Amino acid sequence: MGAAVPSAIVTGGYIYVFYSDYPVPGSGHSGSNSIMVARASVASDGAPGSWSKWNAGAFGSSGMGGDSAPILPITGSACVFPRQPGITYNTYLNAYVLTMICGSGWFFSTSSDLSTEGWSAPTQFFSAPFDNQTLEAGDEYDWHLALVSTDQPSGQMTSKTGYVLWTRGPRRPGGRGAASALRRLRA
């Protein structure tokens, strides 16, 4: 499937793109099912060939075909198979907040520096089970979440209060169905 549901933020002269990586068996790609990050300089305008993936402790792997390493410490965590990353800078925490969907619900991780492996272990903040193996046709699922603070100048920033926007929809035989957008006030 390749890179899925990317989320981007611009800071420090770089465009950072967070994505779920689902290596295709037999493709020669040695990544893992997790959240990865790549970056390109703003001056490059994200042109092909300007991207570097995070791997082996640095942004040094080619964005086109290079290997990447998961950025989240998920060993022993309830956050299994993290996906659908959403990145913002939170002015209240003075940290970057990465949201994700895992099998048992919604999680977040924080980091003070996007260019290091300093991400906190994922913490669950909403129970919304989603597991393709256990959902039956007609079961509802909640995902595609985004944090929004109306007192911030852009969608790349959040603060102490705001909303969680997400979609909800019924599972249909063979896949997911139509979804509707919802919002929830966060504390």
pLDDT of residue 144: 80
Residues 6 or more apart whose Cβ sits within 8 Å of residue 157: 88, 89, 90, 91, 149
pLDDT digits (tens, 9 = 90+) for 91-147: 999 999 999 988 788 899 999 988 666 899 899 998 876 655 566 666 777 778 889
Give the confidence band of 68 by pLDDT, cuts at 50, 70, 90: confident
pLDDT digits (tens, 9 = 90+) for 134-174: 666 667 777 788 899 999 999 899 999 999 888 777 766 65
pTM score, two decimals? 0.84
pLDDT of residue 2: 47
